[in-house]
Chain A
């Protein structure tokens, strides 16, 4: 390919600038987190006496262990069940192409565009009526429903792309529907399923509005939801807030750094299908 030298150089320079801009807010937060906790941090610079102890204090006062437990519980509630139900529904809509499926498809497309804010009020009263307010169920159950349009459409798109000859061949060989799913469809669906799992994990971990509205106790929220509560709590101890925010981001960032290829692939496909 013909490559214009000047263009390539400009590209590199602009890219480096954008990368610096991307990291700057996080670096600023780190520099703030290392300053004395009882003072308003001063400027963006590496502190002469970095207070790494702030992280230990934030870890304790923010109840990070409880939070990790709560977030894990919520994710274990949302992700596996969403995967199971959306796989079944996606198979029915994409492979079996059941009658009436077109209507369901249209309804799901509408569901995809609904902003959570538009229906959070009825969900609040619904969860109250179910007696689940202030429990993790108040986050788990609605999130399964709210992520369902995306999850089903995602799996439907996968199953629609699998050649029907495969199903027919399996049936001719005498496989029942369940055998066909288990032996043939599921192994083929693994890439789609793991990408969906990554997206659901990330969205649940980062979910803010639902925990804010439905669960008062920060210890029973998602990580991001709890972070909202710290903000008021640490108004006069900004370094601790920054340390807390960094601690809360750390698990996802570590997983991201390890699996960045899969994360980026999932996010890109998620954008296209969403």
Chain B
């Protein structure tokens, strides 16, 4: 049926005057199309193109108004010295030079890179270990409960996670209470206030948020690996490590690439957790680009510099994400 209709309609475009499919000539030629009440194939194609663009435009308007236009504006701001109110003066690449030379700004970039350990390495490695260990768990009430709880940190706002963890780390908070109880009271301290402990402390909040997501996604991925591969490995006498390296890890390549991408973005553009726990302190020990941009723009009136930092942050994200994407795509 479909082929039949195609056969009648397809040759027509060649016969139709190409520029005026809707003109009288086209209508005259499209005999069979007219009989069935449908326009010619080419007219139809043009109509679909027009409708298609009509469908895309409203969505594109919002996208352009609140993503593309601000992005172009940010680039423009970044080339000026501007305090947000007065006259702007041309700065050239001054602001970009400052991002990479002012120690405080450089530190926030370094801190963001360190956070990748906590937002990416720990959750993905931990998720791999946990997913491998529980992959044979039978579905049931306990498995459902475990999934539900593991995902909980993804559901609550990061601000709430920040508040909950501030209390974990507080002088009289949960962690110190537990340390006291097990006789390690001498270790207790105000974790978020120490120069050496603050960055790992906020980093671990990221691990807490992301490990569940990584575990469940990797577990789903393991479920898709052919079970006979595991059996073959066992029959060949492979231990758990060989099995992990030769069966599990290659089977999860795609999932790992996805997780690394989203967790690296989360590390580089972290804001909510740090704003609610340390605001970048003590000193500059937990400063990250998001906090620096916010401060520069809205408390220090350095709009140009803040915009330049925003563009640098975007470049960092692209720099981190593109290679992962290319690698994952190439091997698929």
* Cβ contact within 8 Å between B156 and A18: no
Least CB distance from A148 to B in Å reads: 4
* Cβ contact within 8 Å between B290 and A104: no
> Which of these, A14, A28, A121, A168, contacts B77 with CB under 8 Å?
A121
* Cβ contact within 8 Å between B213 and A118: no
- Say yes or no for B116: interface residue by CB 8 A criterion: no
* Cβ contact within 8 Å between A98 and B49: yes
- Say yes or no for A58: interface residue by CB 8 A criterion: no
* Cβ contact within 8 Å between A224 and B173: no
Question: A interface vs B, CB < 8 Å?
Answer: 1-4, 7-8, 10-12, 14-15, 18-19, 21-26, 28-29, 31-32, 40-45, 85-86, 88-89, 91-93, 96, 98-101, 104, 107-108, 111, 113-126, 141-142, 144-146, 148-149, 151-152, 165, 168-169, 172, 174, 177, 202, 205-206, 208-209, 212-213, 223-224, 227-228, 231, 238, 241-242, 245, 248-249, 252-253, 256-257, 260, 263-264, 267-268, 271-272, 274
Listed A/B pairs (25) with beta-carbon separation below 8 Å: A10-B133, A11-B133, A19-B150, A21-B208, A28-B164, A28-B168, A92-B52, A98-B53, A98-B56, A113-B317, A114-B314, A118-B311, A119-B74, A122-B73, A125-B84, A145-B64, A177-B51, A206-B157, A206-B159, A209-B271, A224-B159, A228-B275, A248-B157, A253-B155, A253-B156
Least CB distance from A206 to B in Å reads: 4
Are A118 and B74 also in contact (CB < 8 A) when A113-B321, A177-B51, A227-B163 are? yes
Contacting residues of chain B (33-91) with chain A, CB-CB under 8 angstroms? 37-38, 48-49, 51-53, 55-56, 58-60, 62-71, 73-74, 77, 84
User: Which candidate, B10-18, B24-32, B94-102, B261-269, is the interface stretch facing chain A?
Assistant: B261-269
- Say yes or no for B134: interface residue by CB 8 A criterion: yes
Interface residues on B, range: 35 or more
- Say yes or no for B146: interface residue by CB 8 A criterion: yes
> How many Å lie between the Cα of A239 and that of B297 in the bound state?
33
Are A115 and B290 also in contact (CB < 8 A) when A29-B167, A85-B58, A177-B48 are? yes
> How many Å lie between the Cα of A57 and that of B294 in the bound state?
32
- The interface centre, meaning the residue of B37, B55, B303 with most chain A CB atoms within 10 A of its CB, is B55
* Cβ contact within 8 Å between B134 and A121: no
> How many Å lie between the Cα of A116 and that of B158 in the bound state?
15
* Cβ contact within 8 Å between B160 and A227: yes
- Say yes or no for B121: interface residue by CB 8 A criterion: no
Are A174 and B1 also in contact (CB < 8 A) when A23-B149, A248-B160 are? no
- Whose C-beta in chain A lies nearest to the C-beta of B291? A117
Are A205 and B157 also in contact (CB < 8 A) when A1-B136, A118-B314 are? yes
> How many Å lie between the Cα of A31 and that of B184 in the bound state?
22
Least CB distance from A82 to B in Å reads: 8
- Say yes or no for B124: interface residue by CB 8 A criterion: no
- Whose C-beta in chain B lies nearest to the C-beta of A8? B136
* Cβ contact within 8 Å between A107 and B68: yes
Are A118 and B310 also in contact (CB < 8 A) when A24-B168, A148-B59, A228-B275 are? yes
